[in-house]
Structure 1
């Protein structure tokens, strides 16, 4: 068992002493304890929730934290008592394709759930007395998958959707109507594929619910202010308030955004496919869209343009011009699927993400230090959902179960020494598997066999 350092013990004693003298409030004492790195190092599987018959694409806790809702490729939505591992309610979502998002609406007594899916539909599920569920079609993105919904904080009625058609819609459950706000346009579509951005993610700033960010198959996260929208349709509401992008990615057409999340301090977390995760403060927003320049390179302790995803590198928060640059989080692999990214801890002290190597990664928000890696799926982890009040975590991915993680381990976990190499090798194996299937189809396996032997 790894012993606690004397510095950890000394700090714990000091915090107790400050609380007893009234120099540290009970709330702050509880937050410091709940955010302890020691708890993160003791996370282990508490329960496996097993009832879905397909990949689990979405996880969300209710406001009280006692119920977890999940959605899956099997088209079902399940409500769980996660502490006991018992399912409370299971129902057909009404969707015709994979369920990508399912969330409780606030102040609905956990009886109103909104969902979106690969069929492009946005639906409301109303749980009636006796457990019967009624689903209603609220809106649709035509010929487009819808990956994410964003609920206005503190509202029992308002939420947004974004789709691969680039459209952002506004919903009000009081009228059960959808308002198309705008189509998200590309900033600099150098290859001329399309004028709009297929959207994967949307998030609302909890400190200022008038602001929301969207991201997709483009390197810019775009921030919008709903106050600029004129509900009589008299204004052109399509111009972002500002843009967020690491400087070295400007002009890069080979990456896009898979996940967005706001912290309680209005920081914006952005996860890129085939790249890393970045944390932006509001002051890092670009008022006008920049265009590629040879001077746009960011220094983070090493040349990140030469760092492969799946490797671990040091980082700092200054670019070559001495200006603030976003904090970077490295080590995971995000190439195969559309992955979420989340803050973790009572005051968003940590950042967490799944990975193509089947692991959960947890970093310190400040400094970007990787402090925990957990085996969570045989293939890919897509969702990591923090509990709203305690240091518990739910995860899901390609496997059909949901794993609940709580800090109950007796021994503290340590980081694997070869985690970067393992993630990179896992990705190479996936690419070889895809290539192998193609070559089998064309009867060219005799050419690939010697290559696989040399790699192994």
Structure 2
């Protein structure tokens, strides 16, 4: 375990002294303390929330931070008092398939929750791929004896929906995106959905499709008119809702700008799994089979950036040799020029659709799950990996930061939810071989999946010698 350095102690004393002299406001003092790297190094499991009977696909805190809502493959939505681990309310979502999203609507007294499910095609199963709003009536204080009513709002036809985006400061507006490439706008006052556009590919070199199957959508908290979408394409596309004509008289399919690391332009083998905006309007983009990048608004490309030799920028090192799951300095990925996005490496994002989040009172850190069953936390500035935590036997998909404190909720393939708080007595150290561990874990998962498939097709006699050799 790493002891607290004398420099950290000296800085803490200086901050207290500045606060007492009025040179540092109480608010800034609290933020500096809450964002301390020392707290990140002391995160450990506070509670395991165990009531779901399936993988937990979505986590979200309410605005007050005292309630956590979760959705699962078991079709249930559960509201938790996460500090004590008690269930405040558990109800059937009304969905016929896995619940992929469950979010509190702002300014609803925590009585309105939006849920979305994954679409699975089954003959005779109605309402696949639909959005529900669940409203709870009764005494909120006790969460007992109330009625849960679900209302159908809309659907994405034959399409999985991985993400919703709620307009900051609005009790009525949210957006959805699906693997059908469609982005929809919802208003709870009208209980109707407006199809805004179908996200089109910028440069589909292989000619597979004209639209982008979407995995993620995020709204800029500083300017809620702007939202970004990303999916099975290397470009994150930013749109301005003010350009939409509600009478349908204009074509709203043209993005305001595009975001993509220049070395990925022309790459058809990667796509976006997660997006997140910081409170400074920075855009965080997580790529499958690649890394996480941080863009400022100035890095946006205004015109469709088709691949050409001008985009094949000379790199400081050969990035084709840097594999996901390896640890490298962020400087090795810098492009020639000042507009290179910050890069965060070390995790693996190949098996599932993973989100990505900012962490800390002023978005001082970046956090993501990994195929190796761990949570990764980086410094936003500099991209340094500072913490790796074992959180799942298989894969971590969700990392949800608390809105006010240095607490974190996580979930993955296991059926529980883990709550992390900075209560450890000793500071954790960073593993030195995390890259090799992540790679080996992912290979084991792929072998396990292959073995199950061969069992299903009665071909295990062929695989047994191979598995034996690997073991």
Per the normalisation by structure 1, the TM-score is: 0.94
Write the deviation string for residues 124-165 of structure 1: whole angstroms up to 9, x where unpaired.
xxxxx8321000000011111111111110000011011111
Deviation at 1:190, TM superposition (A): 1.1
Deviation at 1:257, TM superposition (A): 0.6
Distance in 1 separating the partners of 2:193 and 2:13? 55
Instruction: Find 1:274's aligned residue among 289, 295, 298.
Output: 289
Report if aligned partners of 1:47, 1:83 keep a CA contact under 8 Å in 2. Answer: yes
> Does the C-alpha gap of structure 1 residues 302 and 131 become closer, same or farther in structure 2, counting only changes over 3 Å?
farther
> Does the C-alpha gap of structure 1 residues 318 and 173 become closer, same or farther in structure 2, counting only changes over 3 Å?
same
Deviation at 1:431, TM superposition (A): 2.1
Q: Secondary structure at the match of 2:330?
A: coil
Distance in 1 separating the partners of 2:94 and 2:333? 49
Distance in 2 separating the partners of 1:372 and 1:226? 38
Other-structure match for 2:430:
415
Deviation at 1:437, TM superposition (A): 4.0
Write the deviation string for residues 386-432 of structure 1: whole angstroms up to 9, x where unpaired.
00000000000100000000000001000111100000011111222
Moved more, 314-323 or 182-191: 314-323
Q: 1:290 and 2:305 equivalent?
A: yes
Report if aligned partners of 2:233, 2:271 keep a CA contact under 8 Å in 1. Answer: yes
Query: Aligned pairs, how many?
Result: 447
Moved more, 429-438 or 39-48: 429-438
Gaps of 5+ in 1: 124-128
Distance in 2 separating the partners of 1:250 and 1:227? 28
Write the deviation string for residues 263-308 of structure 1: whole angstroms up to 9, x where unpaired.
0000000001111110000000000121223453466753222211
Distance in 2 separating the partners of 1:283 and 1:322? 13
Report if aligned partners of 1:298, 1:320 keep a CA contact under 8 Å in 2. Answer: yes
Q: Secondary structure at the match of 2:343?
A: strand
Distance in 2 separating the partners of 1:446 and 1:301? 48
Deviation at 1:333, TM superposition (A): 0.7
Report if aligned partners of 2:324, 2:346 keep a CA contact under 8 Å in 1. Answer: yes
Deviation at 1:42, TM superposition (A): 0.3
Deviation at 1:122, TM superposition (A): 24
Distance in 1 separating the partners of 2:374 and 2:281? 27
- Give the RMSD, CA atoms, in angstroms: 3.0
Q: Secondary structure at the match of 2:90?
A: strand
Deviation at 1:434, TM superposition (A): 3.1
> Does the C-alpha gap of structure 1 residues 358 and 299 become closer, same or farther in structure 2, counting only changes over 3 Å?
farther
Report if aligned partners of 2:315, 2:336 keep a CA contact under 8 Å in 1. Answer: no
Other-structure match for 1:194:
209
Deviation at 1:433, TM superposition (A): 2.5
Moved more, 438-447 or 154-163: 438-447
> Does the C-alpha gap of structure 1 residues 446 and 174 become closer, same or farther in structure 2, counting only changes over 3 Å?
closer
Deviation at 1:223, TM superposition (A): 0.1
Per the normalisation by structure 2, the TM-score is: 0.91
Distance in 2 separating the partners of 1:221 and 1:315? 21
Distance in 2 separating the partners of 1:329 and 1:321? 18
Report if aligned partners of 2:180, 2:214 keep a CA contact under 8 Å in 1. Answer: yes
Distance in 1 separating the partners of 2:158 and 2:395? 27
Q: Secondary structure at the match of 1:317?
A: helix
> Does the C-alpha gap of structure 1 residues 60 and 438 become closer, same or farther in structure 2, counting only changes over 3 Å?
closer
Report if aligned partners of 1:384, 1:394 keep a CA contact under 8 Å in 2. Answer: yes
Q: Secondary structure at the match of 2:435?
A: helix
Distance in 1 separating the partners of 2:453 and 2:33? 53
Distance in 1 separating the partners of 2:308 and 2:206? 17
Distance in 2 separating the partners of 1:93 and 1:437? 30
Q: Secondary structure at the match of 1:260?
A: strand
Distance in 1 separating the partners of 2:314 and 2:45? 38
Report if aligned partners of 2:263, 2:311 keep a CA contact under 8 Å in 1. Answer: yes
Other-structure match for 1:229:
244
Deviation at 1:446, TM superposition (A): 6.2
Deviation at 1:452, TM superposition (A): 4.5
Report if aligned partners of 2:216, 2:275 keep a CA contact under 8 Å in 1. Answer: yes
Report if aligned partners of 1:301, 1:315 keep a CA contact under 8 Å in 2. Answer: no
Report if aligned partners of 1:302, 1:314 keep a CA contact under 8 Å in 2. Answer: no
Distance in 1 separating the partners of 2:7 and 2:44? 25
> Does the C-alpha gap of structure 1 residues 359 and 143 become closer, same or farther in structure 2, counting only changes over 3 Å?
same
> Does the C-alpha gap of structure 1 residues 93 and 443 become closer, same or farther in structure 2, counting only changes over 3 Å?
closer
Report if aligned partners of 1:298, 1:319 keep a CA contact under 8 Å in 2. Answer: no
Distance in 2 separating the partners of 1:380 and 1:299? 34
Distance in 1 separating the partners of 2:315 and 2:357? 22
Distance in 1 separating the partners of 2:408 and 2:315? 30
